[in-house]
Chain A
Amino acid sequence: MTDLMERYLAAVKRRLPEEQAKDIIAELREAIGSKIEAKEKALGRAANAGEVAAILKEFGHPVVVASRYSGQDYLIGPNLYPWFWDAQRTGVGLVFAIVVAIAAVRAFASERPIQAVLQGIAGAIEAAIWMFGVITVIFIVLERTKTDVRIAQGWNPKTLPHGNIRAPKPLFDSVFALAFDAILILWWTKVVRLPNEFPWQGNRGLELHLSDAWAPFHTPILVLALVVAAVHVADIVYPAWSRLRSLVSIVGHFWGIAVAGMLYRARPLVDVIVSPGAEDRTRELNAIFEIGLGLAALGWAIGLGVEVWRLLRSLQVGVPGPQAAPKG
């Protein structure tokens, strides 16, 4: 019944590294041959096809046997898996939130909102699958190349977040905020276009454009948005309050209030293009934007006050930031 054995060995050989295949197969042939021989000795006759098949089955499926010679038991091993899962949660969550948010804004102004929402969800799922694939490939490469990931070894319990000045930011909040930052930056740099045409009085519509008042603030607002996004990225890595984060936050809030003030003085904030026959609502729309700007400035002022208070409190209670964690 050597035919069955040779077919089995050929199936194993196809899956072995070429340079070792000959040697491994010679050893397996000898091992299986010995087993068949022992069986035949016990039976006192030649083994039949069923008996040989049983021996081969006991030896193991060719795929399993060959894989044991590869030395690579895991696609992503137990050492990397916790980091893989954490990266997936953050990466997939972030990309899903960004695409859904962009789709929601587009659907809001679409003539077919349900279709736009469905397209948006499909796009978000596709983007999430892509992100899942990219992160998976990165971790497979790390596992294959046995890259020494020292995140766990370099970990210091003393750097765990403090919660007495402000509770650590939940991951969901940081990811959601970062998704919003990404949309704002993409829109501000004209990478994506958000709808600015709105139906108004039947078939007539109006178009909103930012006025020239914003032009001098293009770069300062972009820098502010990038700083805020960087803070939200930092929140994902280290979700606790720290003095450095507080200082950046204070500067950001102050910056926001200053820009809002200068914008207010340079108003009108929006130019409105109205369809022929539609009533001009430029004044009312500008008033809405001015109220919005005022509310934003109020929010930043409250945020500024809270951050200054936290900073002063941290000086009183002596809370170290991650950079000031005791050594050793």
Chain B
Amino acid sequence: MTVKHSRPTSPHLQVYKLPLTGIISISHRITGVLLSAGLLLVVMLFYAVSQGADAYAAMQSMVNFWVVKLMYWGFIYALFFHLCHGVRHVFWDLGEGFEPEKLDKYAKIELATAFALTLATWIFI
């Protein structure tokens, strides 16, 4: 059956000029995939801690390289953004916030909140 192997995929992103809410929507997906990949690094952290002081020290000297630190803060922002948009999904599930003007407004609130939470993490933790 040829039908089985040529089912349609989701509409391709490059076809549209995305509004802000659309960019936010695909970013939710992209950050989700990236954060999933980041879980590998978290498992490595647990491994380093479980292997004793030497392995821990080796891991720390690696993560204190500035490129890794920059990636770390990227992950933190991605986490907060994914979290904020996830909260909005829950609101959508309750049937709230589908009006066009609200979509754009909430998108901006999400981006700002994720930034504020990242900043708060940097200052307080």
Same complex origin of A and B? no
